[in-house]
């Protein structure tokens, strides 16, 4: 098994991509209230700031800033994944035998790993915020970023950090000119 090297820098800001194993699933948006409740519980026990976030049907992009004395983002993601899975099992959405299947090397709700990138500077931060907020447009879920309900873009607009018309898809299908 590969030995993944992660920095775990206390107080740092990180970009994450966390994905469900089934890329066709809709658990995250269909049960977004459960996801939010699990996130709030993890944040209460292991604080961090959510700088930007988007929840899509089968994956999450997030920008988190960790406390100055703590760099353990892996524990936070593990706890969130476990809590959300248990909550869906308790609600009858997922089969309770999923944990046993996982021990046998079979399926689980989440992909085993996640993507993480430590933010280097203000430009890197801004690029990742834009990436997060534009992701529903990129994946074809909406034509305008503001139309996706599960995005921190709405907070950015309320706080006047971004204009309400930010992130409109303007793809041109035809070739014009020469």
Catalytic residue among 14, 27, 131, 150: 150
Q: What are phi and psi of 171, to 5 degrees?
A: -65, 135
Q: Assess whether 150 carries a catalytic annotation.
A: yes
Beta-carbon contacts of 93 under 8 Å, excluding residues fewer than 6 positions away, are 27, 31
DSSP 50-84: EEEEEE-SSEEEEEEE--TT---HHHHHHHHHHHH
Instruction: Report helix, strand or coil for 135.
Output: helix
Give the Cα separation of 152 and 177 in Å (integer).
Answer: 38
Q: Which residues are catalytic?
A: 150
């Amino acid at each position: 098994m590969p030995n993944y090297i992660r920095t775990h820098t206390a107080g740092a800001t990180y970009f994450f991509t966390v994905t469900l194993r089934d890329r066709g699933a809709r658990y995250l948006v269909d049960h977004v209230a459960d996801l939010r409740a699990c996130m709030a519980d993890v944040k209460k026990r292991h604080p961090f700031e959510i700088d930007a976030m988007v929840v899509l049907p089968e994956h999450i992009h997030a920008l988190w800033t960790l406390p100055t004395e703590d760099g353990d983002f892996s524990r936070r993601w593990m706890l969130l994944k476990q809590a959300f899975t248990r909550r869906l099992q308790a609600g009858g959405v997922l089969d309770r035998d999923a944990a046993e299947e996982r021990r046998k090397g079979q399926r689980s709700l989440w992909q085993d790993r996640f993507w993480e990138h430590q933010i280097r500077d203000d430009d890197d931060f801004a690029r990742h915020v834009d990436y997060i907020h534009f992701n529903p447009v990129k994946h074809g879920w909406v034509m305008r970023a503001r139309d996706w309900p599960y995005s921190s873009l709405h907070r950015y607009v309320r706080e006047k950090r971004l204009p309400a018309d930010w992130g409109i898809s303007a793809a041109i299908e035809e070739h014009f000119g020469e």
